Amino acid sequence: MRILAPLQLTLAMLAAALTGAVAVSTEKDRRTLELLLVSRLTDRELVLGKLAASLVRVLLLLLAAVPMFAIAALFGGVTPPQLARMFAVTVAASLAAASIATTVAFWKETTFQSLAITLFALVAWVAVGETVTASQGATAAAMVSPARAVFAALRPSGGATLLPFLGTCAAIIVVANSVAVWRLRAWNVTRESRARGGSTAAAAAIRTPSREVWDNPILWREIRTRAYGRMIIVVRIAWLLLFAVAVVGILGEAGRPKPDRLAVALAALPMVLASLVAVTALAVTSVTTERDRGSLDLLLVSDLEPAEFVWGKLLGVLTVAREIVLLPLVLCGALVAAGITGLEGGLCLGLGMALLLFFAAVLGFHVGLSYDSSRRAIAVALGTVTFLFVGVATAMRIMVAFGSSFELQLAPFLAVIVGGAIGLYAALSARNPSPAIGWASALLPALTFVAITSFLQGNSLQVLFVTVVAYGFATLALLVPAIGAFDLLTGRTTSGE
């Protein structure tokens, strides 16, 4: 229960935040938010209606999980009040996450900004809880942190911290939605007026000297224009704060007489996962936003070559996310300089991180091309990253909890390795199935399992080798069809047909 409860909490919060952010951002990309703003809907009805609609599926999934968790009570050790407290914490945290996401989505102008800032806000929420834990103890942290609250809810005497945590979530919900209702039209109506510009702005645009476009116009647009909104700097600042928190945690562990490499890894883990998810979100929205705004059709009827489009998008994504890509690599070198890890470990860590970030970009781009629905594409891309790291790590914890019983360990292993491989193949080969994607789907869960095991055993070189084999092959399996089968993935017809 102590393994499955935080897993359910994580998935519920991510699903609620993802659904809420995408629901609002899609309205903006398709220009339908303007129609809602001029309708008879009040600001409160619009904000709370979007929030409620985004939570329906999440609440139904939580309701469907009640019988599975109730079975645990039949075997003893878990009481119905504990389950009730655990589900109350999960629902409250999910509602708070969705409120943050919808507010940010009404505020920011692009889907990527909404997803990234929401993700960083949720990670910061958990980080604040861990800071409170270090300074005041787990009991005080359970009043503000969803992760600590779900563990406290499972304790027999966990009812004391339930009401304070529900109060914290209620405060977040009220404040977030109040701000969204208050600033809804100021954020959107004024922005739309500026976007239209009027005759004065049009005349000024005519007088503006034209800029020289590069040989690859896609790459030029990604880097030299505001393709991801005017306020992308806010995303960078939010990630830099998260990076600073990770550095502080690493330095705090390094200051001890005998630094624990596992504790150092845990301090950097939230930042690393946030970086992978952010790069994936940027890559997938770089395609879905083009489709929602109708500009993808214009690109497909031009004389752009598939390689120009693919590499323009990928290099553009990595350039826009340069802080997210480069600073973790700089941190690897700093770990070597500080003596926390050796030269071999630093090189393995840096090369592995670089490969994972490029895989995340290719994964997001491939999924963005494979799905016509923006919501489904974003859900598949971010869900794949979450499964490969959070899901496999959870399966390993379950196997460790089952001890030396091979029969009990076999079930979660097969569920993740075999079931995960089938799910990956179904998700990644939605439009263009291929043997290479099939092999990549089969290898990724198993080799990720091996890589995590090798890290726990201290074999840095083996971790790098397994990572290069698994994610290098998966990157090629997704990248080659993106170029070779570009017309099939996008529905583009060549001139000879």
Is residue 92 a part of any domain in this protein? Answer: yes
Is residue 460 a part of any domain in this protein? Answer: no
Residue 63 has pLDDT above 90, yes or no: yes
Which of 27, 183, 181, 24 is closest to 98 using CA atoms?
A: 24
CA dihedral 161, 18, 7, 163 (to 10 degrees): 10
Tokens of residue 231, six digits: 């306020």
Assign 189 a pLDDT band (cuts: 50, 70, 90): confident
Domains identified in the chain, total number:
1
Cβ neighbours for 451, distance < 8 A, ≥ 6 positions apart: 463, 466, 467, 470
Lowest mean pLDDT across 108-117, 153-162, 236-245: 153-162
Is residue 16 a part of any domain in this protein? Answer: yes
Cβ 279 vs Cβ 364: under 8 Å? yes
The DSSP secondary structure of 455-492, one letter per residue, reads HHTT-HHHHHHHHHHHHHHHHHHHHHHHHHTHHHHHT-
Cβ neighbours for 469, distance < 8 A, ≥ 6 positions apart: 443, 447
Tokens of residue 104, six digits: 């940010």
Average pLDDT value for the chain: 83
Is residue 431 a part of any domain in this protein? Answer: no
Which of 98, 110, 114, 17 is closest to 51 using CA atoms?
A: 98
CA distance 276 to 215: 30
Which of 81, 92, 33 is closest to 58 using CA atoms?
A: 92
CA distance 265 to 456: 10
Which of 189, 218, 202, 216 is closest to 43 using CA atoms?
A: 189
pLDDT on residue 90: 94
For 89-107, what is each residue's pLDDT tens digit? 999 999 999 999 999 999 9
Assign 485 a pLDDT band (cuts: 50, 70, 90): low
138 against 285, higher pLDDT: 285
Is residue 299 a part of any domain in this protein? Answer: no
pLDDT on residue 199: 42
Is residue 377 a part of any domain in this protein? Answer: no
Is residue 175 a part of any domain in this protein? Answer: yes
Residue % of the chain over a pLDDT of 90: 20
For 396-426, what is each residue's pLDDT tens digit? 777 777 766 667 777 777 777 888 888 888 8
Is residue 462 a part of any domain in this protein? Answer: no
For 250-308, what is each residue's pLDDT tens digit? 877 777 777 676 777 777 888 888 888 889 988 998 888 888 777 777 777 777 788 88
Q: Note down the domain range covering 86.
A: 1-191
pLDDT on residue 494: 46
